[in-house]
Amino acid sequence: MNPARRVTAAAATTVALATAGTLLTTVTPASAAVSCTSPVFKRQFFANTSFSGTAKKTDCDSAIDQSWSGAPISGLPKDNFGVRWSVTRDFGSGGPFTLTASALDGIRVHLDGTRRIDLWKNTSTTVTKTLNLTIPSGKHTLRVDYVNWTGSAKVKFTYTPRTTASVDKTKPLAPTGAKAVYDTTTGKAKLTWTAAKEMDLSGYRVYRRLKGASFAATPLATTTSTSYTDTTLPKTGATYYYEVRARDKAGNESTGSTDQPVTTVDLTPPGRVGPVAVLGTTAGNSVSWPASTAKDVHHYEVWGAPDGRSDPHGPATLVLGTSWTDVTAPVGSAYRYTVQAVDAAGNIAAPSEPQVVTRPAPSTTPAPSGLTSTLGDSMTWLRWTPAQGSPAASSYRVYRRTAADGGWRLLGSASTASYEDRAAPKGKAYYYVAAVDGTGADSEPSTQLTVDRLTPTTATGPAQPRLTLVSSGGTRHPIIVKAEPGAGDEGRLLQGYTWDISGACGDSGLGHMSTTGTIEWTPPYNGPCMVTVFAVDAYGRTGERGAWLEFTVNR
């Protein structure tokens, strides 16, 4: 309640701003302009019941709830006066509201110039009316006119949102002005936004998602403030997005604010590497490990030291792949190796479980020489010359690696001076061969051979295949066609054969594939039949020329 007050002439020029929930009375001359901060009402006193002429006084009123037993202000009569309140405010998303008015004597309520409540008569008792209505979203103007004709003066007016879930189905508007700031020192993100205009606001919900993912159904946090500090961000260098949603007292939730991104600092090291495998060869100690599951690993650090020493021996070796050969390890000494993954931000994983291996001394059997290769579509054929000398080799071991400084892997053994690598990679590979003496010891390694299988070794695809009609499908038997490599491809490794059928055979279209060379199906009709077959090499190339068979199906 805000009864009018008498003021001195000096105070008459003082202007005080009113804010929501607080009444700061402005006393000014009748002709002066008064500005009241929404949602505070602007109040005008008139010395008549028609609200004509210039108001005797204008001030600000935070609530309409007054009673006067005489003249409400100096200069007004105790009877036949009028008071007008008006306010323009943002109703946010709008929704269902209740307007309640009571007066002794008359009161009228207008919304955007339209009369909504009309209790306009001289009474001896207080009259009251309650009205439920839906107010649209956005800004609207309320005006309340009150008159006192005779006797006591009382007036009260309220407007409140209806917050029952069964009545209020209107979602709040999405919060605006969202902004996220990330502190690289603390790893915290502070999110701020503009206060919602909703009168039935219960609070806000904050959501967070990883880039490329969706927001979870459960909010990260709930708050009644217009800011939130996230202290739970993983320090992985990843980008996260935030959004804020408003929630009203009926449980309706708005859509999200504009997504706000933050990119975190990466302080999280990769996981521990392992298991590490070691192999002692006469070419050096080979160390290998599985690739780290961390997506941002930049390289690995390999530490080697004589077994029994507590400190690493020398500086770590930086390795970009997942294997390495220590060519400096002394023969006959047990060496301990550990591996650590290092990410792009420089975070270092914990050392792997150490593995110990001893580089063997080479036997006195002479090493092979003249290591060469012949390339096939999916095979590398290695040949070498046995060294002349004593003692003679009892067998040979073939080693391969896929990086110039990678770890050696034992491919297999050969009893003669040749070996077929049928699992050869399509890129570069490195080989060496060691002669094995009667005790199972390796000789010195042969000269290393580099093989590049990045492109097919033959310029063209496979030749036209040779076809044999095994069965023509008579008396309801299946058709069987056998396909074999064409002329010049007898020793070539093929992926298989692709084929199609037409006529009485059926109508399949090119696309059937046989990896065995046996083509079999049951024909649907009697009559002429055609089968066309193409060979497919190990690189997936289909031959330019297909072979075909024509025959008659008699079912």
What span, in angstroms and rounded, lies between the C-alpha atoms of 529 and 469? 12
Pair of tokens at residue 300 = 């690995």
Our CA angle for 142, 143, 148, nearest 5°, is: 150
* Model confidence at 455: pLDDT above 80: no
* Model confidence at 303: pLDDT above 50: yes
Separation in Å, CA 415 to CA 198, 265, 375, 386: 87, 57, 21, 11
Superfamily of segment(s) 277-358: Immunoglobulins (2.60.40.10)
* Model confidence at 206: pLDDT above 70: yes
Contact indicator for 486, 465 with CB cutoff of 8 Å: yes
* Model confidence at 26: pLDDT above 80: no
At residue 524, the pLDDT reads: 81
What span, in angstroms and rounded, lies between the C-alpha atoms of 94 and 489? 81
Burial class (CB in 10 A: 0-12, 13-18, 19+), 406: buried
CATH architecture of 369-452: Sandwich (2.60)
Share of the chain above pLDDT 90, in %: 71
What average pLDDT score do residues 52-76 get? 95
Q: What is the pLDDT of residues 367-413, one digit of tens each?
A: 999 999 987 766 788 999 998 888 889 999 999 999 999 999 999 99
Query: From the CA atom positions of the chain, what is the Rg in Å?
Result: 46
Burial class (CB in 10 A: 0-12, 13-18, 19+), 383: middle
At residue 388, the pLDDT reads: 86
Averaging pLDDT over each range in 246-255, 419-428, 532-541, which range is the top one?
Answer: 246-255
**Residues present in the chain in total:** 555
* Model confidence at 17: pLDDT above 60: no
At residue 496, the pLDDT reads: 86
Confidence band, pLDDT 50/70/90 cuts, at residue 10: very low
What span, in angstroms and rounded, lies between the C-alpha atoms of 270 and 297? 7
Share of the chain above pLDDT 70, in %: 91
* Model confidence at 29: pLDDT above 50: no
* Model confidence at 127: pLDDT above 90: yes
Pair of tokens at residue 47 = 């010395």
Q: 88-92, 121-125, 550-554: which range is least confident on average?
A: 550-554
* Model confidence at 3: pLDDT above 70: no
Pair of tokens at residue 241 = 């997005």
What span, in angstroms and rounded, lies between the C-alpha atoms of 313 and 396? 34
What average pLDDT score do residues 180-185 get? 96
- Helix or strand holding residue 512 (H, E): strand 512-514
Pair of tokens at residue 331 = 């023969």
Q: Where are the beta strands (DSSP E) in 136-233?
A: 139-148, 153-161, 179-183, 188-192, 201-210, 221-223, 227-230
Burial class (CB in 10 A: 0-12, 13-18, 19+), 351: middle
Please tell me whether the peptide bond between 366 and the residue prior to it is cis, using omega within 30 degrees of 0. no
Strand partners, 472: 479
Domains 11-161 and 179-263 share a fold: no
**Count of helix runs (H) and strand runs (E) in the chain:** 0, 38
Confidence band, pLDDT 50/70/90 cuts, at residue 229: very high
Confidence band, pLDDT 50/70/90 cuts, at residue 511: low
Mean residue pLDDT of the chain comes to 89
Q: Residue by residue, what is the 3-state secondary structure of 233-291?
A: CCCECCEEEEEEEEEECCCCECCCCCCEEEECCECCCCCCCCCCEEEEECCEEEEECCC
At residue 15, the pLDDT reads: 32
Confidence band, pLDDT 50/70/90 cuts, at residue 346: very high
More confident residue, 115 or 489: 115
Confidence band, pLDDT 50/70/90 cuts, at residue 457: low
* Model confidence at 449: pLDDT above 50: yes
How far, rounded to the nearest angstrom, does the alpha carbon of residue 239 sit from its chain's CA centroid? 8
What span, in angstroms and rounded, lies between the C-alpha atoms of 327 and 485? 45
- The Cβ of residue 367 has, within 10 Å, a number of other Cβ atoms equal to 23
What average pLDDT score do residues 88-102 get? 97
Contact indicator for 283, 410 with CB cutoff of 8 Å: no
CATH architecture of 466-553: Sandwich (2.60)
What span, in angstroms and rounded, lies between the C-alpha atoms of 162 and 164? 6
- The Cβ of residue 214 has, within 10 Å, a number of other Cβ atoms equal to 8
Contact indicator for 177, 191 with CB cutoff of 8 Å: no
More confident residue, 474 or 489: 489
Give the torsion through C-alpha atoms of 401, 404, 407, 412, to 10 deg.
Answer: 20
Confidence band, pLDDT 50/70/90 cuts, at residue 73: very high
Contact indicator for 250, 167 with CB cutoff of 8 Å: yes
At residue 507, the pLDDT reads: 64
What average pLDDT score do residues 446-450 get? 97
Pair of tokens at residue 295 = 């997506």
Q: What is the pLDDT of residues 243-274, one digit of tens each?
A: 999 999 999 999 999 999 999 999 999 999 99
- The Cβ of residue 540 has, within 10 Å, a number of other Cβ atoms equal to 9
Q: What class has domain 179-263?
A: mainly beta
* Domain 11-161 is found in CATH 3.40.50.720: no
* Model confidence at 134: pLDDT above 90: yes
Place of tokens 């210039």: 54
Identity of the amino acid at 319: V
What average pLDDT score do residues 227-235 get? 96
Give the torsion through C-alpha atoms of 398, 404, 407, 409, to 10 deg.
Answer: -20
Please state the domain extents for the chain.
Answer: 11-161, 179-263, 277-358, 369-452, 466-553
Identity of the amino acid at 77: P
Contact indicator for 344, 266 with CB cutoff of 8 Å: yes
- The 3-state DSSP class for residue 455 equals coil
Q: What is the pLDDT of residues 324-337, one digit of tens each?
A: 999 999 999 999 99
